[in-house]
Chains A and B, each alone.
Chain A
Amino acid sequence: MFQHFHLTRRQWFGILKWSVYVLVFLLTVVTQSAILSRLRPFGLKFNVVPILLVCICLREGPEKGGLFVLLGSTFYALSGVDMGNVSLLVVTVCAVLSAFLCQTVLADRIISAAVCCFATLLINSSLIFAYKLLLGLVQPRSWLTVLLPSAALSMLFFPLTYLLVKAISRIGGDHGV
């Protein structure tokens, strides 16, 4: 029965690549909640998971990458983050649309990727912020004093994440295995 499960070299590399993506994603989720969230430089918190998911989607395209982001953001939403339902929707939609835009309009360059990641972070945090603002749980000025600096600070991880994802996407020597 198992002779029917023959995999080509290309398929093996495909499995390897997606496994590495999963491993990096899980490592990022654990690192973010267990280590990065404790650091709080200037009282702000890092948010690296959306950056990683957007970078993967940009490299792998809106279909394969989009599916990975959907599964990843669902896992992330269920890992106990604040308003995970919003993150699930926003991160998936932003990542897929970013990948689509990069394929059709924008060039697939580091600057475009940085803009897409920053936009995703801002939209995601701003929607959560807006909801909390409606409930009177936050002050409007916190958007400028906390949300914006926090998103900017999280972008410090972008170059490393982008290069890591770029390296992983080249496993098998063929982009888009």
Chain B
Amino acid sequence: MKKKLTAKTKAILALALVLAAVVTIVGALTLATPPGENVVQTILSPFRAAANAIVRQAERYYNYIFQYEALEADNEALRARVMQMEDEIRTADELQRENERLRQLLNLTKEHEDYELVSAYIVAWEESNWKSTFTIGKGTNSGIEVGLVAITEYGQVVGLVTDVGPNWATVTTVLDSASEISATVASTGYNGIVEGAYATGQEGLLRMSYLPTDSVLRNNDQVLTTGSTVYPRRLIIGYIVDADIDETGVAKYAILQPAADFDDIEQVFIITNYENQ
């Protein structure tokens, strides 16, 4: 029985060290996607999209079976008609959701006529507990670039495109610690910076910092973007759920419930162009 690592095994360990160092150094020096990541993500993107399509289809059938069982209790005479309706409902459910999204989007585009939007489905979510990003199934081929804002059909901020390939793009959500947005409390006009609350151990919430100590903050006050070179004005970030004086004692902070429902989100809209007013 071998008691020592063989030369081949040592070579594998050394190669792992070299590869990890190369990925780290190149990533740090160029601040861009590490070499090879674009290739891997481009290859994986259609498979991820296919996996999501399968899940959506499975959900449709699950809903269908569930509804079918509930309706089975009805009398025999209505069964044939119910089945026909079920089939329609199955399709209508999805169409209705899409219709609702598009209707909301229409309101949004009426309200913000200057917005140019690209819709995209989410195909993959980040696996780490400490990072909040997801991958969408569209990229540079659809006009998406790094630094563009992702929103919901209701104009709620979802995040920022931080990485992009031909048929994929990574969106870092507002929940991520790396995210910082200049924001204002809609009812009072207090300004502050909104960031992900992982650092405070409040995963899933946002923190609005640098508010004046004498600011009056109420629960459910709406927080909006103030507008910057990145974020358009008056997009909804979240709602205040708590507030206190921060660790320094010279400013107040508020905890926000994000406006976008990240547990239920399946489609986002990327603002590819807007007029900065």
Expressed in whole angstroms, the minimum distance between the Cβ of B253 and any Cβ of chain A is 15
In the bound complex, CA of A30 to CA of B55 (Å): 12
Nearest B-chain residue to A87, judged by Cβ: B20
Within 8 A of B (CB), among A11-67: 26, 29-38, 40, 43-47, 62-63, 66-67
> A72-80, A109-117, A157-165, A166-174: which lies at the B interface?
A72-80
> Which residue of chain A has its CB nearest to the CB of B170?
A80
A37 to B135, CA, bound (A): 12
From B3, B135, B263, contact of A104 by CB (8 A): B3
- Whether a CB of chain A sits under 8 angstroms from the CB of B41 is yes
* Interface residue count on the B side (C-beta < 8 Å): 52
Please give, as numbers and ranges, the residues of chain A lying within 8 Å of B20 by CB-CB distance.
77, 85-86, 88-89
Given contacts A88-B19, A129-B130, contact A139 B37 (CB under 8 A): no
Tally of A-B Cβ pairs under 8 angstroms: 160
Determine if B86 is an interface residue (Cβ-Cβ < 8 Å): no
Are A80 and B41 in contact, CB atoms less than 8 angstroms apart?
Answer: yes
Interface centre among A34, A80, A96, A150 (most CB of B within 10 A): A80
Interface status of B31 (Cβ within 8 A of chain A): no
Residues of A with C-beta under 8 A to B41: 78-80
Our pick among B36, B127, B200, B201 for the contact of A37 (Cβ within 8 Å) is B127
The answer for the CA separation of A30 and B2 in the assembled complex, in Å, is 37
Chain A to chain B: the 7 pairs with minimum beta-carbon distance, closest first: A139-B201, A82-B128, A37-B125, A92-B16, A89-B20, A33-B124, A34-B51
* A147 interface hit (Cβ, 8 Å): yes
Q: Give the distance in Å from the alpha carbon of A143 to the alpha carbon of B216 in the complex.
A: 35
Residues of B within 8 A of A43 (CB): 203-204
Q: How far is the CA of A86 from the CA of B9 in the complex (A)?
A: 19
> In terms of DSSP, what is the predominant structure of the interface of chain A?
helix
B124 & A103 in contact (Cβ 8 Å cutoff): no
Judge whether A139 and B199 touch: CB under 8 Å. yes
Residue of chain A at shortest CB distance from B25: A85
In the complex, which range does the number of interface residues on chain A fall in? 35 or more
Which residues of B lie under 8 Å from residue A70 when comparing CB positions? 12, 15-16, 19
> Closest A-chain residue to B36, C-beta based?
A78
Contacts of A86 in B (CB 8 A): 20
- Enumerate chain A residues within 8 angstroms of B17, measured Cβ to Cβ: 89
Known A-B contacts A70-B15, A96-B13; the reply to A32 vs B127 at CB < 8 A is yes
Instruction: Please give 11 more A-B residue pairs, beta carbons under 8 A apart, in addition to A47-B127, A81-B127, A128-B130.
Output: A33-B125, A34-B51, A66-B12, A70-B16, A75-B40, A77-B20, A78-B40, A89-B16, A92-B13, A125-B129, A128-B128
Whole-angstrom CA separation of A145 from B203 in the bound complex: 11
7 inter-chain pairs at a CB distance below 8 angstroms, sorted by A residue, are A37-B125, A45-B129, A66-B9, A100-B9, A136-B199, A138-B198, A142-B198
C-alpha spacing A92/B19, complex, angstroms: 11
Q: Is there a chain A Cβ closer than 8 Å to B126's Cβ? A: yes
Q: Are B16 and A82 in contact (CB under 8 A)?
A: no
Report chain A residues within 8 Å CB of B126: 33, 37, 80-82
Q: Does B65 contact A (CB under 8 A)?
A: no
In the complex the two chains form, is A62's CB within 8 Å of B131's CB?
A: no
Contacts of B182 in A (CB 8 A): none
CB distance from A12 to the nearest CB of B (A): 24
Complex Cα–Cα for A139 and B200 (A):
6
By the criterion CB–CB under 8 Å, are B51 and A44 in contact? no
Among B23, B127, B177, find the residue whose CB has the most chain A CB atoms closer than 10 A. Answer: B127
8 Å CB interface, A125-160 against B: 125, 128-129, 132, 136-139, 141-142, 145-147, 150
